[in-house]
Structure 1
Amino acid sequence: MGFSDEEQRLLTPPKLNLDGDEESSAATRVATVVGAAPKDQFYIAYIVYFILGMGFLLPWNAFITAVDYFSYLYPGTPVDRVFSVAYMLSCLLPLIFIIGWAHLSSATVRINTGLVVFTVSLVVVPVLDAFYVRNTRGVYSAYDVTVAAVILSGIGSALVQGGVIGSAGELPEIYMQAVVSGTAASGVLVSAMRIICKAIYPQDATGLRHSANLYFAVTIAVMIICIICFNIADRLPVIQHYRSIKIQAMKEEGDSKFLTGSTWRSTLRNIFMRIKWYGFGLFLIYVVTLSIFPGYITEDVHSEVLKDWYPIILITGYNIFDFVGKAFSGVYLLQNDNVAVGACVARLLFYPLFFVCLHGPEFIRTETPVMILTCLLGLTNGYFTAVVMTLAPKSVPIQHAETAGIVMVLFLVVGLLVGSLVSWFWVL
C-alpha cells in the first residue's frame, strides 16, 4: 500500500542534499513497510491538538490577565513587566537546551512533564491566596513566590509548547492548524472571562480577587483536561501511524538518537538553514505585534464613549480576528514561502498606521479606525503565524520535523521577548 500525497510530502520535502534518488527510494521503502494512514475517527486527534494549543497559552494568560489583582496586592511593584521578563526568559533558556538534546528525549515525556509543571504553578496562586495572603496588601514574600510560579510556568511552556508544535510538525498540516487555532482560542476564552468578570463583579479588591480565582480555576481545569486528552490521543492509530513513519525514516537515515556531537550539530545547522526564513518571518510577526499589542491598546488610546470598556473591546476584537486568521489557514494555506515571508515583513506598516491613529487628523483618531487596525493586526498575526508554522516543519524530512518545530518556537519566543522590550522604548 502506498502513501497519500500528504505522507509523501512528509517523507520527501525539498531536499537538504542533492541526492534526490536516495531520498525518493527511502520514501518508497518506508511506504512499503508502514502502509496507508488510518482515519482520524471523530476528529479526536484534531480536537486534542486544538485543546493542547489552547492549553499551553492559558497559564500565561491567567497570570497576565490577573495582573490588576497582583498590582493591588503588591503596590509599588512593576508586576506586568516582571512577569513578562520572568516568563520569557524561563521559557527561552530551556528551549535552547531542548533543541540541543531533542533527539535524545521523548516529546510525550516532555509534554506530560510540562503539563504537570503548568498545573503546579497554577495551583500555587489560589492556595497562596486562600491560606497566606487572604487579600492582604503588601505581603511581599508571597509576591516572590508568585514570581517563582511564573518562572515555573515558563519552564512548563518550553516543555509543552516545544513538544506539541514539534510533534504536530510530524503530522499532516491540519494538525498544526489545530494547534495554532487552539492558541488563538485561548485568547478568545480569556477575553470572554474578562468581560464576564467585569460585568458581574465590582471593580474593587473583592471583585479583582474573584476574577483572579476564576481565571486560575478555569486554567487548572483545562490543564487537567489536556493531560487526560493527550495521553488518550497518544495511543490513537493515526498518531501511531505517523510515529511509525518517523521511526522507519530514522532507521533509513541511521537513527538520529545515536548521532553524536559534531554530527548532530551539523544536522541542526542544516535544519536551521532550511527554516531560517520562516523563523525570521515568525520573529518579525511577534516583534511587530507585541510592540503594539497590548501596550498601545491599553495605554495610548482612549474613548470618551466606551471609557474603560474600550481597551477590553479592542483586545477582544484582536483575539477574535487572531482566531479567524488561524482558522482560515485550514481553508486556504498559502504555499509560496517568498510571499509568506514578504507579508510578515510588510506588517511593519502597522507602525506608521497606528502612529497616525494617535497623532493624525481628528477623524482618524476615532474608535472605528483604531478598531479596524486592531482587528487587522490580529487577523494578519493569526494567518501568517499559521502559515510559517505549518510550512517550516514540512521543509525538512519527517525525522527532523520535530526539531524544526521546536526551533520555530524558539524564533517565536525571541520575537515575543524583543517585541516586549521594544514596547517599552517605542513611545507613540
Structure 2
Amino acid sequence: AMISEDDFHHSANATYRPAGSNLRADQEALLGKLLDRPPPGLQRPKDRFNGTYIIFFSLGIGGLLPWNFFVTAKEYWLFKLRNCSSPTAGEEATGSDILNYFESYLTVASTVSSVLCLMANFLLINRVPIRVRVLASLTVMLAIFLLMTALVKVDTSSWTSGFFAVTIVCMAILSGTSTVFSSSVFGMTGSFPMRNSQALISGGAMGGTISAVALLVDLAASSEVTDSTLAFFLTADVFLGLCVGLCLLLPRLDFYLRPVWPACVFPSEEQPPQDHPSVPSAAPGSGESSPPPLRPILKKTAGLGFCIIYLFFITGLVFPAISTNIESLDKDSGSPWTTTFFVPLTTFLLFNFADLCGRQVTAWIQAPGPRSKVLPGLVLLRTCLIPLFVFCNYQPRVHLHTVVFRSDLYPVFFTSLLGLSNGYLSALALMYGPKIVPRELAEATGVVMSFYVCVGLVLGSACSALLVHLI
C-alpha cells in the first residue's frame, strides 16, 4: 500500500509517524528500514561521495580520540606526577600515594562527570539548540587539550600536587564535554538513515584503535616520553579542530538540507528548501521548552537498554582489569614479544581492532532485529567469556592456582571474540534505539542510550575489582 505524506506529523525538530498509525509492531520496531527506503514522493537525496557518512565517521573518531589519548599516555602521567628533582623522603611518600591511586581518581572523575553531563544534556535538549551544544562541547574539549598540550614541556616537579589537581579537573571536564558531544551527535543521527549512526559508532572504535597503535609506536621508538606525548596531544588537537570544521560543513550538504523529513539537527537555523513545499516548517518558538518525556523512551528501549548495560558490564568486567594482567607463558625468555609488546598487542590493539571490525560489519548485516529474542540471548551468552579469561595465565593468582589455557594463542582468540561480539552487538542495539521511537524523541533517545552505556561500564568496572580479588 502507498504511504501518504499526510500520515506523517511534523514538529519543530522532526517529522514522525504517530504511534496510533497502522504500522505492525515489527514495522514500528524497525522504523529505520522505512526511513532508509522512503516511499515515493518522499525521496531522499543522494549522499554524494558518501560525504555525510565520512563526516559522522570522523566525528566518532574526534569525539573519543582525545579521551583515549588522555588515558593511553600512562607513562607520561607517571613521569609528570613523580618529583623529578631528587625529592626528599617525605615528598617521595606523597608522590607515591598520588601515583598509586592516580588511575582510580581518573576513573571516578570521568564517570561522575559523564553521568552528570548526560543528565544535564537530556534536560537541555529542548532548551538549547543542538548546534550550540555540539560546538560548545567541542570548543571546551579543544581548550582543555590545548592547555594539557602546553603543559607537556613545563617542568612540574616543584608543584606535583597542583599539577595532579589540574589533571583531574581537566579529565572531569574533558569526559563530561565528550559525553555531551557524543550523545548529541548520536541523537542527531536519528534523523538520518541508519548507516550514519553506524558510521558514528564505528568512528568511536577507530579512535581506540588509533590510540593503541600510537602506544605501540611509542614503545617501539623508545623516544623521550614528553616528545611522544606532545605528538599524541597535538594529534588530538588537530582532530578536534577538524571536528569543528566538519560540524560547520554538515548543514551545507544537500543530503542534510533536503532529507526525507526535516532533520532534527540545527532546526532553528535551517529551513526546508522551497522546492519541497509539501514539508511544512514549524513556526519559530513552537517547539516545547520542557525536557523530553522520559517514561515512553524507557518503555520503548527497555529491552535494548538491558542488552547495552549487560554488554558493557561484561566488557568492563574483563577489559582491562583482567586482560591486561594476563602474562605470556614464555615471559621468562626475555624476548620483547613476551615482555614489552605482549599486553599492548593482545589486549589494547587487538581488542580495539576487533571491536572496530564488529561495528563495521553492521554496515552490511543488521540481524537480529530489535524485537528479536536472539539479541538478548547472544548478549547473555557472552557471560561465558569471564571464566575463559580467568583461567588464562592471569597473574598474580592467590585463590585459583590452576591455569587451564596454557598457550599464548588462547588470550589472543578470547580477546578477539570479546571485541568482535562487543562491537557488533553494541552497535546493533545503539543503532536501533533512536529508530524505534517517534522521530521527535530520537535525539533524547540517543542521550538515554549513551546513559545505558555509562551504567554498564560503571557496573563492570566496579565488579572487576571484586573479580580480581577472587582469582
1:268 aligned partner: 294
Which is further off, 98-107 or 381-390? 98-107
Contact 2:117 2:177 in 1 (8 A): no
Out of 237, 241, 259, the position equivalent to 1:224 is: 241
Q: Deviations over 1:25-60 (max 9, x none)?
A: xx99xx899842211111111001001111111121
Write out aligned runs for 1:325-404 (5 A): 325-337=358-370, 338-358=373-393, 364-404=405-445
Contact kept? 1:124, 1:146, Cα under 8 Å: no
Unaligned runs of 5+ in 1: none
Determine whether 1:123 maps to 2:146.
yes
Could you tell me whether the CA contact under 8 Å between 2:297 and 2:445 is conserved in 1? yes
**Contact 1:249 1:399 (8 Å CA) reproduced:** no
Contact 1:350-1:377 within 8 A present in 2 as well: yes
- Distance of 1:285 and 1:360 partners within structure 2: 28
- 1:341–1:362 Cα change, 3 Å: closer
Q: 2:120 matched to 1:85?
A: no
> 1:24-423, aligned counterparts within 5 Å?
35-74=42-81, 75-76=95-96, 77=98, 78-133=101-156, 136=157, 139-202=160-223, 207-242=224-259, 244=262, 257-258=287-288, 260=290, 264=292, 267-303=293-329, 304=331, 306-314=338-346, 315-337=348-370, 338-358=373-393, 364-423=405-464
Name whichever of 319-328 and 359-368 sits farther off. 359-368
The alpha-carbon deviation at position 425 of structure 1 amounts to 2.1
Is the 1:340–1:387 Cα contact (8 Å) retained in structure 2?
A: no
The worse-fitting range, judged by mean Cα deviation, of 170-179 and 35-44 is: 35-44
Once the two structures are superposed, residues 99-146 of structure 1 have per-residue CA deviations (whole angstroms, 9 ceiling, x without a partner) of: 12312222221111111111111112121233452xx37622111111
Query: Helix, strand or coil: the match of 1:364?
Result: coil
Letter in 2 for 1:308: T
**Correspondence for 1:20:** 22
8 Å Cα contact 1:67-1:79 kept in structure 2:
no
2:374 is aligned with what amino acid?
Answer: V
Structure 2: tracts of 5 or more residues without a match = 9-13, 28-33, 82-94, 268-277, 394-399
Indicate if the aligned counterparts of 1:108 and 1:163 stay in contact, CA closer than 8 A.
no
Q: Displaced runs of 4+ in structure 1, greater than 3 A?
A: 10-13, 17-21, 31-35, 245-252, 300-303, 358-363
Rounded Cα–Cα distance in structure 2 between residues aligned with 1:68 and 1:250: 56
Deviations 1:385-404 (A, max 9, x none): 11001111110111211111
| Closer/same/farther in 2, CA of residues 256 and 188 from structure 1, 3 Å limit | farther
Structure 2 Cα separation of the partners of residues 143 and 114 of structure 1: 23
Shift of 1:365: 3.1
Match for 1:45: what amino acid? T
Instruction: Give secondary structure in 1 for the equivalent of 2:442.
Output: helix
Shift of 1:295: 1.8
The alpha-carbon distance between structure 1 residues 249 and 284, as it changes in their structure 2 partners (threshold 3 A), is farther
Distance 2:112 2:71 in 1: 16
| Cα distance in 2, alignment partners of residues 286 and 256 from structure 1 | 39
The total of aligned residue pairs comes to 407
Deviation digits for residues 213-244 of structure 1 (CA, Å, limit 9, x no counterpart): 22111111110011111210122121223461
Q: Indicate conservation of the 8 Å contact 2:133/2:184, yes or no.
A: yes
Q: Secondary structure of 1:102's partner?
A: coil
Identical residues among aligned pairs (%): 24
Calculate the aligned-residue CA RMSD, in Å. 3.2
Q: Secondary structure at the match of 1:105?
A: coil
- Separation of aligned partners in 2, 1:199 and 1:301: 19
| CA-CA distance at 1:89 after TM superposition | 1.1
Larger Rg over CA atoms:
2
Tell me the distance in 1 between the aligned counterparts of 2:152 and 2:143. Answer: 15
TM-score, length basis structure 1:
0.86
Larger mean Cα displacement after TM superposition, 95-104 or 381-390: 95-104
Provide the rounded CA distance (Å) in 1 between the counterparts of 2:191 and 2:177: 21
Cα pair distance change 1:251/1:228, threshold 3 Å: closer
Quote the offset at 1:421 in angstroms. Answer: 1.6
CA contact 1:173–1:390 (8 Å) conserved in 2: yes
